[in-house]
Amino acid sequence: MPGPYNRLVLRAVVGIVLIAVQLPVIAASGADARTAVDAFLGRLGDVNVADLVIDQTLTLFDPGGRHPQSSGEQRVYVKLPRRQRVEQTIDGQKEVRLTVGDRVWVRAPSGKTFEAPPAGTRDATQLLVPLRRTGADLLAEWKVLGVRDDVTYVTRSGDRTVTVIGARPGERSVPQVWLDPERGVVRFVTREKLPTGDGVVDLSLTEHRPLVGGFALPYRQEAFVDGKLVVRVLVRSAAVNTGLDDALFDPDALRRER
């Protein structure tokens, strides 16, 4: 993976990769965080997602965010509640990244396997698959990331109405969640400690497609750091409830792999 900038920033944001756009406000009242979250989760009903396999194409951009610099492929295995395996090949170099709860193991292109510190940005599955948790659970998780649940407003995102949780109209760089009543989280803004220093990570999830029941998966994800495009991910295919083997998420098994 050429370039230390891309290598370090990728590890910081790759899980939930995603754009900052100032949109017109249509109302500043009548929005309530708990009501909006509960309504979305209620729409999912009895949807059961036990595991998920996603194949996607990854593009990394130069530090200025203007030109593609590296590209590769990823296969992401997710097993709820908090297990994830990412197998990626970027410019011919293969890496496997295994996340179990708050712990992370990496098998480097050299073949060496080691435990790594958790990345600055949190597990994407908390955004992509918001199941098996209550509205109170989600708001509590977001609050840990700095998102205030007592500040909300309603605005437009493209042709859709969304509830913004954690910010007031015009605030772009404070932690916030943009919640679509049918698609779930479509934008997530956090302040993170990155290899280049403290920065604003603005994540966008778009081009949702139905996957199972009322659950839709974003097929396009983009990440901006301080307004500059860093990573773009395009999903090629996704499969749900395939019965993933627990061994895929076993750190000891990862060490034995060749």
Q: Can you give the pLDDT at residue 130?
A: 55
Per-residue pLDDT tens over the stretch 90-144: 888 999 999 888 899 999 999 899 998 865 444 444 555 555 667 888 888 888 8
User: What domain range includes position 107?
Assistant: 4-256
Q: Can you give the pLDDT at residue 45?
A: 72
Of 114-123, 206-215, 233-242, least confident by mean pLDDT is 114-123
Per-residue pLDDT tens over the stretch 140-170: 888 888 999 999 999 998 889 999 999 999 9
Distance of CA 3 to the CA centre of its chain: 23
Rounded Cα distance between 165 and 38, Å, is 13
Rounded Cα distance between 91 and 81, Å, is 32
Q: Specify the CATH number for the domain of residue 132.
A: 2.50.20.10
Q: Can you give the pLDDT at residue 129?
A: 55
Domain count, the chain: 1
- For residue 232 the two structure tokens come to 């773009």
**Crossing angle for the helix pair 33-44 and 135-144, to the nearest 10 degrees:** 130
- The DSSP secondary structure of 214-240, one letter per residue, reads TEEEEEEEEEEETTEEEEEEEEEEEEE
